[in-house]
Structure 1
Amino acid sequence: MEIKYLQSGGLITNYYCTCSCRHCLYRCGPHWPKHYISATVASIAFETAIRLSCPSLHIGGGEPFLNFRALVDVLKVARSKGIQVEYIETNASWCIDEDRVKERLEKLLSLGVTTLLISISPFHLERVPLARTYTLLRACKNTGMGTFPWSQEFLNDFSRLDPRRCYTLEELEEIFGPGYIKSIPNRYWIHPGGRALELYFQEGFTLEQLLELFPYGCEELTNTSHFHMDLYGNYVPGLCSGLAIAVADLGHQLPQGKYPILNLLSKKGIKGLFEMACSMGFKAKRRSYGSKCLLCLEIRSFLVEKKGVFHELAPLEYYYQ
């Protein structure tokens, strides 16, 4: 397996977050270690992106604004390396004092940042009251910072709610009617990974059907149309959170000894991984799987807990959140 070039992606500055969104691909939340990407690791990531033909990246988390000084340092490194920052993702949880928010936005503008992707969804509303989202939107308008509300559609839903408080998914189901939670993936892109596998993608195929449907390698592992590199110097292949390739190994064939799981998935897919795991004592826990990703996560969790260290199963905290 080899990642030959990078198309479009981002840099994960931290995994700790004010939210524990029930759809979060990276299982971010307040219980993660309060680690933040260093200028050195960011520099290597930016240099790698340029080396592999990707001159621009977005910045995300976790919540990047939880360490604003470190975020500024990352942006300075990006500018020095010639990387264009497409946008910074934020959930607006930090937006309490509007004057303070505007100060931060003006600092970002001075560093060449022109757009914020503002996360707006039923999942974020469980931890972030709308008042903070509105504060950020006003501050952006008043400072000239561009916004990319993701997703604007939910703001229309939420206009009837009290902006001073949060709402659980169950409360939203009561307000908007039966099926509201189930309908969210039809309105808002949700990848089958992370916590989303606990809320969606639960039912659909028997184990036998799933293995028959996917007898080939996981081609998505080499897809770089929306990639991420993180604060630990890892590249996440194919949006498969909990799998990791050292950034230094990008652009080269991955050694079999260092990456046995990734090479197996690339060549033989979920069926190959399942057969390997069974030889090590794995037994499937479910009768039905809505996605091969659910089975893959179940197997990887087994390998992490029962069979020692596979360095490509990282960060380990992902498997315990």
Structure 2
Amino acid sequence: MLKIQYLVSGGIITNYKCSSKCKHCCYSSSPKWPNDYMTPSMADEIFAVLKRLGCDAVHIGGGEPLLQPDKLYGILDAAYRNNIGIEYIETNASWYKDAASAKTILKELKGRGVKTLLISIDPYHNEYIPFWKVKGLIQACSAVKMNVFPWQMEFWDEVDALDDHETHSLDEYIRLYGEDYPVRLMSRYGLNLKGRAFMTYRPFMKKQPVDQILKESKPCGLLSGIYHFHVDLYGSYIPQSCPGFSIPVKELVSGADPDKYRIFNSMESVGIRGLFELAEKEYGYTPKNEYAGKCDLCYDIRNHLVLELGLDLPDLKPEGHYKYI
């Protein structure tokens, strides 16, 4: 049985729709996603499960959770009902219009126990969000005494060197800071190279023969990790550092059937070789000669199953993770 008996720290993905399509996004969020949002009843169900598993507080993110603040309030109310604390809410500040309207929303958040906003500060977001919005939101937080968790402050001067009323592509940053800027940016940010982030940086990665990757196969321990997990708006448990895999969190509590979640189980119990052999034998998968490591091969297999074959597999959800990359 695939089972989790204890969880330490994690987050809630209220929605995948986002105002941005950032190159570093491991969840493949973008404006193309459906406008779905977690319901209060789903939040109640999730928070009750997390509480039983020993998780007393979560952070909230997306997508961009504040695209629909009225729906976010319902999630916060559900957290209060279940005695779950909110560590912070992640936001890219795209929703900021003016100080007055921002303060109204911030006061609603404070009234529901939110003490901190994590506000994104980096060149990836600046491709879609002019920096004046970030500055304005920080000032609004200060006015209502909302704490700010700037992520990450070390990029402030680099972003602020450009016109803050315009968005700026990574090409502009390259012209300003050098050809190797994207690679330096990756290491400084501490990216989780999954989803769109992996596709962005795949060209910079060393390739390996597929036989070598399979020979070095080991069980993927991250899939059963209890730190930095996420649960999304559909009630799916998103494993530590590995979006695109999912199992309903309520099933994991009682024990999920490995025969039902064969893709997940093959990776968690055997590793990339297990997934490869399953895909080759049952789904006609044919590999390329080389890949940028096991994660590249894993994504290629999953894309084959979800996009090329159009399979509706319970452990490869949501499909948008693959469609909107």
TM-score (norm 2): 0.95
Counterpart in 2 of 1:60? 61
Counterpart in 1 of 2:268? 266
User: How far is 1:211 from its partner?
Assistant: 1.9
Secondary structure, in 3 states, of the residue corresponding to 1:187?
helix
User: How far is 1:207 from its partner?
Assistant: 1.7
Counterpart in 1 of 2:253? 251
Any runs of at least 4 consecutive aligned residues in structure 1 with deviations exceeding 6 A, and if so which?
none
**Which of 198, 208, 211 matches 2:211?**
208
In 1: Cα distance, 2:133 partner to 2:43 partner = 29
Counterpart in 1 of 2:40? 39
Secondary structure, in 3 states, of the residue corresponding to 2:213?
helix
In 2: Cα distance, 1:121 partner to 1:206 partner = 35
Secondary structure, in 3 states, of the residue corresponding to 2:86?
strand
Aligned: 1:288 with 2:305 = no
In 1: Cα distance, 2:258 partner to 2:284 partner = 22
Counterpart in 2 of 1:121? 122
User: How far is 1:159 from its partner?
Assistant: 2.3
Q: How does 1:1-321 map to 2 (within 5 A)?
A: 1-202=2-203, 203-204=205-206, 205-213=208-216, 215-279=217-281, 280-285=283-288, 287-289=290-292, 291-304=293-306, 305-306=308-309, 308-321=311-324
In 2: Cα distance, 1:130 partner to 1:318 partner = 27
8 Å contact from structure 2 (residues 244, 321) kept in 1:
yes
User: How far is 1:297 from its partner?
Assistant: 1.1
Which has the larger displacement, 249-258 or 229-238? 249-258
Question: Can you give the 5+ residue segments of structure 1 that lack an aligned partner in the other structure?
Answer: none
8 Å contact from structure 1 (residues 261, 312) kept in 2:
yes
Deviations 1:87-111 (A, max 9, x none): 0000000112111111111111111
8 Å contact from structure 1 (residues 254, 263) kept in 2:
no
Deviations 1:7-57 (A, max 9, x none): 100100000000001111110010000011000111111111101000100
In 2: Cα distance, 1:108 partner to 1:308 partner = 40
- Aligned residue type for 2:70: R
User: How far is 1:288 from its partner?
Assistant: 3.1
In 2: Cα distance, 1:294 partner to 1:98 partner = 44
Secondary structure, in 3 states, of the residue corresponding to 2:189?
coil
8 Å contact from structure 1 (residues 126, 167) kept in 2:
yes
In 2: Cα distance, 1:64 partner to 1:134 partner = 19
Cα separation, partners in 2 of 1:162 and 1:156, compared to 1, 3 Å: same
8 Å contact from structure 2 (residues 210, 288) kept in 1:
no
Q: How many residues align?
A: 319
Percent identity between matched residues is 39
8 Å contact from structure 2 (residues 131, 160) kept in 1:
no
In 1: Cα distance, 2:14 partner to 2:253 partner = 22
Secondary structure, in 3 states, of the residue corresponding to 2:3?
coil
8 Å contact from structure 2 (residues 138, 148) kept in 1:
yes
Which has the larger displacement, 48-57 or 199-208? 199-208
8 Å contact from structure 2 (residues 126, 159) kept in 1:
no
Cα separation, partners in 2 of 1:140 and 1:271, compared to 1, 3 Å: same
8 Å contact from structure 2 (residues 122, 159) kept in 1:
no
Cα separation, partners in 2 of 1:253 and 1:80, compared to 1, 3 Å: closer
TM-score (norm 1): 0.96
Secondary structure, in 3 states, of the residue corresponding to 1:251?
helix
In 2: Cα distance, 1:15 partner to 1:106 partner = 24
In 2: Cα distance, 1:307 partner to 1:88 partner = 34
